[in-house]
Chain A
Amino acid sequence: MLNTENLGSTKKNPHQKIIFTGPVGSGKTTAIASISDIEMVKTDVKASDIAIKTKSHGHTTIAMDYGLMHLDDGNRIDLYGTPGQERFSFMWDILTHGGIGLILLIDDSRKNALNDLDFFLNSFQIFLEKCPVVIAITKVDVNNTRTLKNYTEHLQETKYANTPIMEIDARKADDIKILLKSLLFYIDPGLEE
């Protein structure tokens, strides 16, 4: 099935977008901030429930984060971060509309990180039928309870066995660039560097 809607005419949709998602505290806001050309637009509030346990700065995203990258030809790529909490999941469909790919960040320090992986892949299932996902494992040095192999073995049993997956530090722009390059080459391995 062709997704002409996602990469439509430049007149209708002059800018394309990449979506960052994942559970609360997985590093979505930080990841976007590390590569955005503009100061992030945030919609965060003081975390009041479970989110506060995973947020060192005590704030969590409730609607979206927004950043962008300017391209040489005048085009731009919009970067959207979804809220991590499931109760704001109505925003997920809205934000993925017109996206070209998904970056899924999984916080390895969470007890049920593998369940988080399944949950988010399942939640974005319709979008992922048309667009690729790249999986980024964050905070791997916090508990050292799992290795990347645990995730790749877990994915082997799913349709996402070939999906790009790697450890990252969301604060490091170079790591986020590798994620985005992986997404682009996964869409089209024939791209010229």
Chain B
Amino acid sequence: MNTQTISNPSFVNMSHGISFPTITTKQPIPKKVKQVSYNNTDNTSFDINQGLLGLFKKLYLQQQSAIIDLDEKHRGLFYLKTKDNILYIRTHKNNIKIICKQSISVSSRELEEYSFDAKQLTNIRAKVHLDRFIWIISLLTAKGRLPKHIDPNKTQLRLKHWPNLSRYKIIPSAIQLAAFFSQTPTSVAMAIKMLGCKAEDIHNFISACDAINILETTHKDKTITSLNKELPSKNRGLLTGLLHRLFK
């Protein structure tokens, strides 16, 4: 039996104890390792706690139902029923893009759920799932940048649980990143190095996970240079073959 067995116990955990056989004659493709360098002066970070995204993030975290206004006229652009995960939108999607891109300030007031009747709400443009909306506006706001409280080299990231990826706006490599960060607490820089994904995609994914409160962060004093668990280095013939089939 041509089976590659792995003696490293950390790998055994990572791979669920599966050893992988040589199934095809093709050699595994060497991993493209990107060298990434960050400096603190370039435009790669943003404040996730500011603007529309910051307000939605806070209300979602606190499970607080609210009405969000753009100005003092109290026109109520968004009505959040947080416990039901429902959002009523009363503005055009282009306006939402502008609010996110220009970091326009917004305010909120309490929504009294017991007296709230959505049927009496006029000019509703859309009724959506709140978490899915937060995921979208995090992408509009992040634009490939990382939340500034996350140091790409020193902040260790871990997902509290898997995001609802079948229902969220697609981010390239999101499934791979979810698998990686849910099992392997590590930094953004290490993820880029190990997975070879685009930095912008990782930044967007991390921003979105942070916005919906499924990201756990731990700041380390030194640059993270190794993984707690090693990535499998086995023959990936069968899995890669199936993956390619699924991407067709």
Contact = CB atoms under 8 A, between A and B. Distances in A.
Nearest to B6: A2
A149 B2 CA distance: 43
B20 to A, nearest CB: 5
Contacts of B16: 3, 130-132, 187
B240 A192 contact: yes
A182 B165 contact: yes
Contacts of B101: none
A185 interface: yes
A178 B24 CA distance: 24
Given A75-B23, A131-B16, A189 B179 contact: yes
A187 B239 contact: yes
Interface stretch (A8-16, A45-53, A111-119): A8-16
B21 A189 contact: no
Interface in A35-54: none
Contact of A75 (B1, B12, B179, B241): B241
B15 A75 contact: no
A6 interface: yes
Q: Which interface class (under 10, 10 to 19, 20 to 34, 35 or more) fits B?
A: 35 or more
Interface in B122-172: 159-167
A190 B194 CA distance: 7
A192 B243 CA distance: 8
Given A182-B179, A189-B195, A190-B194, A10 B12 contact: no
B98 to A, nearest CB: 30
Contact of A77 (B6, B176, B180, B242): B242
A178 B175 contact: yes
Contacts of B161: 152, 155-156, 161-162, 165
A70 B245 CA distance: 8
Given A7-B238, A147-B85, A187 B18 contact: yes
A179 to B, nearest CB: 8
Contact of B166 (A8, A175, A184): A175
B244 A72 contact: yes
B38 interface: no
B241 A72 contact: yes
Contacts of A163: 162
A79 to B, nearest CB: 11
Given A164-B162, A193-B173, A130 B18 contact: yes
Contacts of B3: 4, 7-9
A8 B1 contact: yes
Given A12-B1, A175-B166, A192-B29, 17 more contacts: A2-B6, A2-B18, A4-B5, A8-B21, A9-B1, A9-B3, A9-B21, A75-B23, A130-B18, A162-B162, A166-B163, A168-B166, A177-B246, A186-B179, A189-B176, A189-B180, A193-B243
21 contacts: A1-B17, A7-B20, A10-B22, A71-B241, A75-B24, A75-B237, A77-B238, A130-B17, A161-B160, A177-B246, A181-B175, A181-B247, A182-B178, A186-B183, A187-B232, A189-B184, A189-B195, A190-B194, A190-B195, A191-B239, A192-B196
Interface of A: 1-4, 6-10, 12, 16, 69-73, 75, 77, 100, 129-132, 147-149, 152, 155-156, 161-168, 175, 177-182, 184-193
